[in-house]
């Protein structure tokens, strides 16, 4: 079930900051699908479909959020803006911040996970591979010769039986934060793929709460944050 509704968080002539609720795909999984954030956005801003991104059906969307994750997405309105913003992604200048609530798991994270890693320089790092029937989840790869993805730990706060994480990504792999937190024994609350069975009907406790980048026209730093 979808929680909340999509909205325009901020608007400029070059890009839109979109809010994606949990329970909605960021882009169509197939070209015929219409129940996704991009299609919702294009109903009011059709120019986003004229932008040529990594895949032709993704329009001006610069990055995705998992179906179960809520939060902010960046969508370019022009090809020029998209190309400049994409370059920032490729050079590590586009930073996404997340909030996650976890509970310590008494069990090992499950089949396919390597031994629990050490957190080095405030980050959880690994390569990734798809795993399992239907390739629906991912697993870390402990091999310095493959592309490394880093989940930067900004802060942690203990709240009774829960832990609040503030995390940052420069580049991301599918399910990266979810997999990394499960790997170190702190699966996100209500994460049906990487944690224990859900205790309530509440959505997964992961939010993409902030994005930071340079304005594609002025070059000035931009920061958008969910309070």
Q: Are residues 44 and 117 in the same domain?
A: no
Q: Are residues 34 and 122 in the same domain?
A: no
Residue 174 buriedness (CB in 10 A; 0-12 / 13-18 / 19+)? middle
Cβ atoms of 1 and 200 within 8 Å: the answer is no
Domain count, the chain: 2
Q: Are residues 84 and 34 in the same domain?
A: yes
- The Cα 173–Cα 93 span in angstroms is 17
Q: Are residues 128 and 197 in the same domain?
A: yes
Cβ atoms of 118 and 183 within 8 Å: the answer is no
40-55 pLDDT per residue, tens: 999 999 999 999 988 8
Averaged pLDDT for residues 127-139: 94
Q: Is residue 195 part of a domain?
A: yes
Whole-number pLDDT of residue 202:
83
Q: Are residues 186 and 154 in the same domain?
A: yes
Whole-number pLDDT of residue 25:
95
Specify the CATH number for the domain of residue 55: 3.30.2350.10
DSSP string, 156-173: EEEETTEEEEEEEESS--
Q: Is residue 136 part of a domain?
A: yes
Please say whether the dihedral angle defined by the alpha carbons of residues 6, 30, 53 and 150, taken in this order, is positive or negative.
positive
Cβ atoms of 68 and 23 within 8 Å: the answer is yes
- The Cα 125–Cα 31 span in angstroms is 34
49-61 burial by CB neighbour count: b if 16+ within 10 A, else e? bebebeeebbbbb
Q: Are residues 136 and 160 in the same domain?
A: yes
- Cα torsion 62, 213, 222, 17 to 10°: value is 10
CA distances from 137 to 141, 194, 205, 213 (A): 13, 8, 18, 29
The whole domain housing 76 covers 7-91
Q: Are residues 40 and 67 in the same domain?
A: yes
pLDDT at 218 over 60: yes
Q: Are residues 76 and 108 in the same domain?
A: no
Average pLDDT, the chain: 93
Q: Is residue 192 part of a domain?
A: yes
Which among 14, 32, 34 has a CA at the least distance from the CA of 24?
34
Confidence class for position 1, pLDDT limits 50, 70, 90 = very low
Q: Which of 91, 126, 142 is the last residue of a domain?
A: 91
Q: Is residue 1 part of a domain?
A: no
Q: Are residues 32 and 75 in the same domain?
A: yes
Q: Are residues 130 and 201 in the same domain?
A: yes
Q: Is residue 121 part of a domain?
A: yes
Q: Which of 91, 126, 152 is the last residue of a domain?
A: 91
Whole-number pLDDT of residue 2:
41
Q: For residue 21, what are its two tokens? A: 């609720």
Q: Are residues 108 and 71 in the same domain?
A: no
Which among 178, 169, 161, 180 has a CA at the least distance from the CA of 213?
169
Paired strand residues for 124 = 151
Q: Is residue 48 part of a domain?
A: yes
Cβ atoms of 134 and 204 within 8 Å: the answer is no
Q: Is residue 52 part of a domain?
A: yes
Q: Is residue 145 part of a domain?
A: yes
């Amino acid at each position: 079930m979808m929680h909340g509704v999509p909205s325009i968080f901020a608007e400029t002539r070059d890009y839109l900051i979109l809010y994606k609720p949990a329970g909605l795909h960021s882009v169509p999984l197939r070209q015929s699908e219409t129940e996704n954030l991009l299609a919702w956005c294009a109903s009011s801003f059709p120019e986003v479909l004229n932008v040529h991104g990594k895949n032709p059906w993704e329009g001006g969307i610069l990055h995705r959020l998992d179906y179960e994750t809520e939060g902010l997405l960046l969508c370019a309105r022009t090809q020029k803006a998209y190309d400049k913003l994409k370059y920032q992604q490729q050079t590590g200048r586009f930073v996404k911040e997340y909030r996650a609530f976890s509970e310590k798991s008494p069990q090992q994270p499950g089949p396919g996970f390597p031994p629990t890693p050490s957190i080095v320089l405030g980050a959880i790092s690994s390569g990734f591979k798809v795993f399992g029937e239907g390739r629906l989840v991912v697993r870390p790869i402990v091999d310095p010769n493959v592309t490394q993805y880093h989940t930067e730990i900004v802060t942690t706060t203990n709240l009774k039986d829960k832990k609040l994480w503030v995390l940052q990504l420069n580049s991301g792999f599918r399910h990266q934060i979810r997999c990394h937190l499960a790997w170190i024994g702190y699966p996100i609350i209500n994460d049906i793929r990487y944690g224990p069975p859900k205790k309530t009907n509440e959505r997964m406790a992961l939010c993409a709460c902030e994005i930071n980048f340079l304005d594609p026209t002025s070059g000035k730093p931009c920061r958008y944050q969910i309070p």
